[in-house]
Amino acid sequence: MNCTEAQEKFADLLDGRLPEGGTADVRAHLASCPDCQRQYSSLAQTLAALDALPAAKPGPGLRKNFYAMLEEEKNSAASVAAAAARHRQAHRAVLWRWILAPLGAGALALGGFFAGTRYAPAPAMDAATKQEIASLRQRVDSVGQLVGMSLLQQRSTSERLQTVLATVDQKNPDQRMISNLIGALALDPSTNVRLSALDALYPHADQAFVRSGVLATLPREQNPLVQVAMIDFLVAARDREAVPELEKIVRNETIDRVVRDAARRGLAQL
């Protein structure tokens, strides 16, 4: 080992972190080289002096200020935590009031209903009861229809279009299918599906509930293309009940001019 190599290792030798093993060759060189000895000893002496510098002690202000600052932070952290807790509590109250409580009430009513049907003695069926059951069944059917509609919503646009077009091909679609078509006309996000649904409804325009369904959907419709098609449908069906709605459209200046023109023409024909 020459002097340059040895002096490059001085840093390692002076650094107390390193194991002794890696420095044996430097020590061997040092033992035989007075020049490097002087270099090394001067560095070691400097470090010793540096390490021997008395540690300055801070004044009492540092500790006092630190604990004052810590207390302040603790208080503000506590107030933030309290505010967060209040917020969570308020959130829970809202959740309970608007969601969990109605759900709970519904579950209780359902439970009561099932318990009643299972354990209560079957009452003799009089005419009033039969009527009530019929109306209940109708409601259940309308729930089924809603579910059907929501299923209609979940499929892709082309699949929903297929469903609607399949309805057109049927010779005698049943009431539920027609309801689904009105549902699609009212709710489907795709313009194409709504227009197809309206086309599929043309053969059934003689049914009052189809006409009233289309009429009820008209104010909600935003697309001028579908609006005009609906107006044409109602005019073609000679639906006098559409007159007030069409007059409203003619008066409403925010509606597309093409739509208002169609409504005006329709009024003239009705």
- Residues contributing to the site for other proteins (CB under 8 A): 7, 10-11, 13-18, 27, 30-31, 35, 37-59, 61-63, 65-67, 69-70, 73-74, 77, 81
What is the closest distance, in whole angstroms, from the C-beta atom of residue 89 to other proteins in the complex? 19
What is the closest distance, in whole angstroms, from the C-beta atom of residue 68 to other proteins in the complex? 10
| Largest distance between two CA atoms of the chain | 125
Considering the complex, state which of residue 58 and residue 123 has its C-beta at the smaller distance from other proteins: 58
Q: For 9, which DSSP code?
A: T
- For 42, the enclosing helix (H) or strand (E) is helix 34-52
What is the closest distance, in whole angstroms, from the C-beta atom of residue 86 to other proteins in the complex? 18
Considering the complex, state which of residue 52 and residue 120 has its C-beta at the smaller distance from other proteins: 52
187 class by beta-carbon count within 10 Å (0-12 exposed, 13-18 middle, 19+ buried): middle
Considering the complex, state which of residue 27 and residue 240 has its C-beta at the smaller distance from other proteins: 27
- If we measure between CA atoms, which residue out of 233, 162, 158 comes closest to residue 190? 158
**CB-CB contact of 173 with 167 (8 Å):** yes
What is the closest distance, in whole angstroms, from the C-beta atom of residue 9 to other proteins in the complex? 10
Considering the complex, state which of residue 51 and residue 206 has its C-beta at the smaller distance from other proteins: 51
What is the closest distance, in whole angstroms, from the C-beta atom of residue 82 to other proteins in the complex? 13
C-alpha to C-alpha distance for 176 and 192, rounded to whole angstroms: 21
What is the closest distance, in whole angstroms, from the C-beta atom of residue 20 to other proteins in the complex? 8
Considering the complex, state which of residue 17 and residue 257 has its C-beta at the smaller distance from other proteins: 17
CB atoms within 10 A of CB 261: 13
φ, ψ of residue 94 in degrees (nearest 5): -65, -45
> Which residue type occupies 5?
E
Q: Could you write out the DSSP letters of every residue in 59-80?
A: -HHHHHHHHHHHHHHHHHHHHH
What is the closest distance, in whole angstroms, from the C-beta atom of residue 21 to other proteins in the complex? 13
> Which residue type occupies 71?
E
**CB-CB contact of 196 with 165 (8 Å):** yes
Considering the complex, state which of residue 64 and residue 139 has its C-beta at the smaller distance from other proteins: 64
Considering the complex, state which of residue 46 and residue 175 has its C-beta at the smaller distance from other proteins: 46
